[in-house]
Each structure stands twice: as C-alpha cells, then as structure tokens.
Amino acid sequence: MSEPLLRVDGLSRHFPMAGGAQLRAVEQVSFSLAAGEVVALVGESGSGKSTLARTVLGLYDKTAGRVYYQGERLPGHYRAADFRRQAARMQMVFQDPGGTLNPRLTVGESLAEPLLLSGRRSEVAARVADWLGRVGLDPSAAGRYPHEFSGGQRQRLGIARALIAGPALVVCDEPVSALDVSVQAQIVNLLMRLRADEGVALLLIAHDLALVRHIADRVLVMYRGEIVEEAPVARLFAAPQHPYTALLLASCPSGDPARRLPQPAPVQGLEVGAEGCQFAPRCPRATARCQQRPALSEVGEQGRVACHHPLGEEAPRSAT
C-alpha cells in the first residue's frame, strides 16, 4: 500500500502542571489519513482532540512520537522556516469566527498572508479575488475589515485563507460550533464542495455527531487523550464497538419528540489505577481485566477499538 498523506505514529503531548505533574493531553496516538479523505476527531471537551490537531500541525511541540507527511518525517519542534515549508501542505480553520481574522487588517491582507509568507508573491490580488468568489463573497470584500462581516461570513473567509495556498490537508477545529444553525449549513456545504472541487483532505474536530455523520469518511473517537475507537463512519454509527462510543451515540438527541432518549441507567463502574482503562469508571461492561489498559486492535475491516469487551454486533443504535 502506498504511503498515506499523513501518518501519525505514537504521538504524545504532555503539558507540565503546577506541582511538577504532567497533563497527558495526548497519549500514544497513531492514525493515518489518505489524500482527499475526511477524518473526524470526536470526543468530549478535554479529550485532547484540539491538542492532537495542533501537535500534528506543529503549533505544539511533540513530547514523543513521529508525524510523516507523504513519507517525510516532520520536525518535533517547529521554527518559522519549517512552517513556511509546510504552508502549502497543511492549514487550519479555527473555531471562533471573532478571532479568526486580525481586526486591524483588511480581509484582502489577511487572505494574502499565507501566500506572501510562503514566498508566492505573484498574482496575489487575483488569487484573493478568486478565493473570495469561491467562498461566495464579492471580490470587493478584500478592501473591507472583518468587523463588517457576520460570523458565518468570517468563517468562510477563514476557510478561504486556509485554502488559498493550496494545502493538501486542512484541520477544521469545530468550524461551526460557534455559529447559528442556519449559518452552520452554509459552512458545512462549503466545506463539502471544496473537498469535492479541490480534493483537499480534512481533519475535522467536532463534538456534534450528526455533523460528523454528514461530512466524515472515517471517525476517530478520543477519550482522555487516547483514541479508543476508529471506524468508517457508517460502521461507527451502525455498530459502535467501544462502550464509550455507544454512550456518545446513545446520548445524542434524535431530534424527534416521538423517540426521546431513555433515562440513562446508573452505571456501576470500576475504579482502576493509572494503568487501567480510562473509561472503566463509567463503563457498564468493565471487569477485572480492565485494570490493564487495552491496546488499540483491529476489529473487522478498517476498524480499531481499544477495549477488552467490545460490543461486537450486539448493540446497533436502533435498538437503544
């Protein structure tokens, strides 16, 4: 099999905390991403999905592990020159539409930045105008300031800035969670269209499972800094293997008042030490074996799960 676009191998990122302890925000994460593929990273707040994405991009130093882009190993600590080389490979779309553009620069100046910084100074104005059009804005918007635009428009400008240098991979950090529903749909449609037109691969960080189901090809589920399950999107929603994935799915409102979620059953979890499965305290299936951390192992085709007691085919979502 040929080398994937991005391969992450045993990546960890720890943060020092007060008292000398280490916060293991990302611990031993491995995955790969093919060209043009949309991979979603889901999990609750604090699960490390944002840290993982930023570590992959080099915004955070790597504590351990390696990242390969088309087989080329990326540095553990980035200097400005490393970012300049990477600008045409990987870019990012940010969550907060208010902070995604510098309020003191015109939209055109913000959009031109990736081009100018990575040394492509030809036809900058034409490219900016072209990209404004592609995200559905008038080219004359280049002379305007960010505060003149709505949240959704700013998010589109953020997407244009991420794509203008022609990267093969764009990390989208909760690109719509700060937006209203009617605007979310515009952004989601835009991302889908750009993916089809440009063939760009997306690493999508999201907590909204319905959105993930709509956009993603493959899903990585994170819990406390580790990947606990990986599966193609259809498989994941039809037959989650990890009890945590199952819990996430079971907690999502169906959007249908006729089928409300059942009362969550109280769970008698298992207290485990630092070496145990992190989910055991909340897990209805925990046994003594869970005192040992389960490895991420293959289940079925293209799927992996880190659990001693995966659900198998027994609990498709429709039964809950």
Partner 1 sequence: MSLLTVRDLRVGIRTAAGVVQAVRGVDFALAAGETLALVGESGCGKSMTALALMGLTPPGATVSGEVTLEGQSLLPLSPARRNALRGARMGLVFQNPMGAFNPTMRVGDQIAEVLRSHRNLSAREAGARAVALLARMQVTRPAERARQYPFEFSGGMLQRAMVAMAVACEPPLLIADEPTTALDVTVQAEVLALLRELVEERRIGLLLITHDFGVVAEIADRVAVMYAGQLVEQGPVQAVFRAPAHPYTAGLQAALPRLEGPRQDTLTTIPGTPPSLLSPPPACGFVDRCPRAMSICAAQAPGWFDAGDAHRSRCWLWHAECPQDGQRGSRPRIGPADSEEVSGE
Partner 2 sequence: MTAAVDFQPLERAPRAELPSQPAPSLWQAAWRRLKRNPRALMGGWAIILMAAFTVLGPWVWQVDPGAQAPARASLGPQAGYWAQVVTDEAWQPAPLQAPEPLTLVVDEANTARVRLRWTALPAAEGYRLFRHERMPRSATDLGLPLAELSPAETAYEDKLRLRARDYVYTLQAMLPEGGERQVRVQVRPGHAITSYEAKLQGLLAIGEPVAVEQLYLPAHPLGTDHLGRDMLARLMEGARTSLFIGLLAPLLFVGLGSVYGALAALLGGAWDDWMMRFADFIVALPFLLFVILIRIAFGIGPGESGILALVVAMVMLGWPTSARLVRAQVLQLREQGFVEAARLSGAGYGYLVVRHLLPNVSAIILVALSFAVPQAIFTEAFLSFIGMGVTPPTASWGAMANDGMQTLFNHPQQLLLPSLLISITVLAFNALGDALRDELDVRAGERL
Q: Would you tell me which residues interact with partner 1 (CB under 8 A)? A: 44-45, 150, 180-182, 184-186, 188-189, 192-193, 207-211, 213-215, 237, 247-248, 250-258, 260-261, 263-264, 266
Of the two residues 191 and 286, which places its CB atom closer to partner 2 in the complex?
191
Which of the ranges 20-28, 51-59, 198-206, 215-223 carries the binding residues for partner 2, by CB under 8 A? Answer: 51-59
Query: 317: which DSSP letter?
Result: G
Q: How far is the CB of 125 from partner 1 (least distance, A)?
A: 28
d(CA 90, CA 162): 8
For partner 2 (CB under 8 A), the number of binding residues is 48
Phi then psi for 56, rounded to 5 degrees? -60, -40
Neighbours of 135 (CB within 10 A): 22
Structure tokens at 157: 């400008």
Of the two residues 59 and 295, which places its CB atom closer to partner 2 in the complex?
59
101 touches, from partner 2, partner 1, none (C-beta below 5 to 8 Å by class): partner 2
Residue 97-116 contact track with partner 2, rule CB under 8 A, x = bound: -xxxxxxxxx---x--xx--
CB 255 within 8 A of CB 241: no
- Contact pick of 7, 66, 85, 317 for partner 2 (by CB under 8 A): 85
214 touches, from partner 1, partner 2, none (C-beta below 5 to 8 Å by class): partner 1
Phi then psi for 130, rounded to 5 degrees? -60, -45
Does residue 48 touch partner 2 according to CB under 8 A?
Answer: no
Q: How far is the CB of 149 from partner 1 (least distance, A)?
A: 10
d(CA 260, CA 2): 46
- Contact pick of 41, 137, 201, 249 for partner 2 (by CB under 8 A): 137
Of the two residues 71 and 199, which places its CB atom closer to partner 1 in the complex?
199
d(CA 229, CA 299): 10
Of the two residues 20 and 255, which places its CB atom closer to partner 1 in the complex?
255
Strand order in the sheet with 90-93: 90-93, 169-173, 201-206, 38-42, 218-223, 226-232, 303-305, 297-299
d(CA 7, CA 19): 34
d(CA 190, CA 207): 19
Structure tokens at 232: 């193609």
Q: How far is the CB of 222 from partner 2 (least distance, A)?
A: 20
C-alpha count within 13 angstroms, C-beta hemisphere, residue 239: 11
The conformational region for residue 8 under phi > 0 = left, psi -120 to 50 = alpha, else beta, is beta
Q: At what angle do helices 107-117 and 124-134 cross, to 10 degrees?
A: 120
Of the two residues 121 and 147, which places its CB atom closer to partner 2 in the complex?
147
d(CA 312, CA 163): 40
Structure tokens at 59: 């915004």
Q: How far is the CB of 262 from partner 2 (least distance, A)?
A: 39
Does residue 21 touch partner 2 according to CB under 8 A?
Answer: no
Does residue 63 touch partner 2 according to CB under 8 A?
Answer: no
Q: How far is the CB of 86 from partner 2 (least distance, A)?
A: 7
Which of the ranges 65-73, 88-96, 248-256, 285-293 carries the binding residues for partner 2, by CB under 8 A? Answer: 88-96
Of the two residues 23 and 252, which places its CB atom closer to partner 2 in the complex?
23
Which spans of this chain sit near partner 2 (rule: CB under 8 A)?
Answer: 54, 57-59, 80-87, 90-92, 94-96, 98-106, 110, 113-114, 117-118, 136-138, 140-141, 143-145, 147-149, 153, 158, 161-162, 165
